[in-house]
Amino acid sequence: MRCHRLWLAGASVLCLAGIARLALADADPCTPGKQVPAVAEPAMSARALSARIDALINTRLAAEKVKPAPSADDAEFFRRIYLDVVGRTPDCSEVEDFLDNHDPEKRQGTVERLLGEPGYVKHSINVWRSLLLPQNNNQQLQFLVPNFERWLREKFQDNAAYDDMVREILISPLSSMQPTRRQMAEPPRESPVAFYQANELKPENLAGSTSRLFLGIKLECAQCHNHPHAQWTRNQFWEFASFFAGVEPRGAGPAAGGREVPERRSLKIPGTEKIVLARFLDGKEPQWLPGMQPRAALAVWITASNNDYFARAAVNRIWAQFFGIGLVEPVDDLSDQNPPSHPELLDLLARQFAANHHDIKYLIRALAGSQAYQRTSALTDPSQNDPRLFARMSVKGLSPEQLFDALVQATGFQESGPAPDPRLGQFETNTRARFLARFGNQEKRTEYHTSILQALALMNGDLIRDVTSLERSRTLAAVADMYSGNSANALQTLYLQTLGRKPQAEERDRLIRYIDSGGPKNDRKAALADVFWALLNSAEFFLNH
């Protein structure tokens, strides 16, 4: 079955390559009349790209007379790279091993090791599912989410090229949205078709999401009228939406899905009698081949090597994931009215991303290897206030998945009851599902807000009560027993396990006195539990810095 899918995928790529030769000219697909050289840029190594990133960032800092922050210490870097690459905090032994390692290449070695761990795949699934399938109450969508997660898992396990992933999303057959009864009884199969259900199978929604996610263009602003300052017109919006004209909903209920009418390539602009044909954003109509589906032509055009919007949108989004703020901010608004903070750097990253076959791991290696990424988040000079200069690392709020997994890692929490059923997807009602439902993703990680209900859940919710209980917390019970007569070692272990660092002298002295005094209950173990609770509820724990 797997070989059959690989054969189909290969055939699709060959077919799309043939379409590309006929459907595309040498014009820039997003800027009418602009010609793009056909010569590919030589690929740089990730290490060489890291050096170029720093050269361009530092040139701008010097021009602005900004003093860059020093490099983060090993503990700060180690916790940051774990959260950014595998979505969890490191455990105590991992931190101690890294701090005791004196190899000058240990940071780059850690990045490489983490990219090969299952945690990288798990975290990537969380990041891209959240991006491509925003949270909503659509029950039909929830039944397709497990299939989508399995598809993402396969892609990231195979380190699939980003352009191949986007093409597969855009040409995904809608027939898989209506599984047979036998298929519904089996474990979910991988498919990105949930992207269509998330957009309610509406051409206008699909057009807006596609342009925003994969091109960084907020085309939906032109859905109802021409904006006086926008680059895109209402006509262009509905021409772009016409590539999805054949997508239609079918049926009702949880197994309902969609279908496609391949010959449909036009739409009537709402409120008018005007019918528009499918055209690319450069105003050109595809050269239709017999039997060609509009979505296939669009997939080729979007991911074309001469479409600089595609690569720029991708690298800007991944840069924002690691730095907390994009080179273009907001990340999905790559317009003339919203220029990048570092235009030359954005262009360089886009060209090298394409030259390295749209390899996401390559880009992560380059970003994480830069001095800019490895700077401390602490403000060490008044000139470092502008986050878009990247003189220091921005502080980022944890995503719900990162926060839950950090709690699990720090406390040793284990879910009780039966294993999750992959067919239920987001209908699961276990501890993790309840926690994620309460903590929704926030678009701007550098402007993290916690609601009152979220704060209460962190302070005295069922999960926190369990993991800070001497009777039920594996970590706390082990530390209390192992260091029953040594408060200093117990405190250091809790710090390493939760915050990924050793306590500072002032923290150590104050908290050891508290533990040794037994706190308000005059019980040393209860006082140790109080300290553990305080660390888990500290801003340092639920922020990535």
391-406 tens-digit pLDDT = 999 999 899 899 999 9
Is the pLDDT at 29 greater than 60? The verdict is no
| Burial class of residue 67, CB neighbours in 10 A (0-12, 13-18, 19+) | middle
Residue 54 has pLDDT above 70, yes or no: yes
Residue 168 pLDDT grade (very low, low, confident, very high; cuts 50, 70, 90): very high
pLDDT of the residue at 259: 74
Q: How far is CA 316 from the centre of its chain?
A: 12
Residues contacting 262, CB < 8 A, separation 6+: 246, 291, 293, 294
What's the gap between Cα 423 and its chain centre?
24
Average the pLDDT over each of 146-150, 178-182, 412-416 and give the range with the smallest value. 178-182
Band (pLDDT 50/70/90 cuts) for residue 50 is: very high
Task: Give the count of beta carbons closer than 10 Å to the beta carbon of residue 485.
Answer: 7
pLDDT (0 to 100) of residue 4: 39
Per-residue pLDDT band for 331 (boundaries 50, 70, 90) equals very high
Asked if the model's pLDDT at residue 461 lies above 80, the reply is no
Task: Indicate the DSSP class of residue 167.
Answer: H
Is 370 within 8 Å of 352 (Cβ atoms)? no
Residue with the two structure tokens 């059959």: 4
Q: Predicted confidence band at 26 (pLDDT cuts at 50, 70, 90)?
A: very low
Dist CA 422 CA 70 (whole Å)? 46
Q: Using one digit for the tens of pLDDT, what is the confidence trace for 144-165?
A: 999 999 999 999 999 999 999 9
Distance CA 125, CA 441 (A): 14
Q: What is the pLDDT of residues 223-265, one digit of tens each?
A: 776 766 667 889 999 999 999 999 987 654 444 567 777 778 9
Could you report the per-residue pLDDT of 257-283, keeping only the tens digit for each? 677 777 789 999 999 999 999 999 988
What is the C-alpha separation between 265 and 222, in angstroms, rounded?
Answer: 20
pLDDT at 78 over 80: yes
Please say whether the beta carbons of 149 and 125 come within 8 A.
yes
Dihedral of alpha carbons 8, 12, 15, 21, sign: negative
Residue 8: the pLDDT is 37
Residues 6+ positions from 377 with CB-CB distance below 8 Å: 69, 72, 76, 392, 393, 394, 395, 545
- Residue 261's pLDDT is 76
Indicate whether this model's pTM tops 0.85: yes
Q: For the purposes of burial, counting CB atoms within 10 Å of the CB of 537, is it exposed (0-12), middle (13-18) or buried (19 or more)?
A: middle
DSSP 8-state symbol, 106 = H
Torsion of CA 228, 231, 234, 240, to 10 degrees: -170
For all residues of the chain together, what is the average pLDDT? 85
Q: What is the pLDDT of residue 7?
A: 37
What pLDDT, on a 0 to 100 scale, did the predictor assign at position 33?
32
Strands (E), 257-399: 257-260, 266-268, 275-277, 396-397
42 residue type, one letter? P
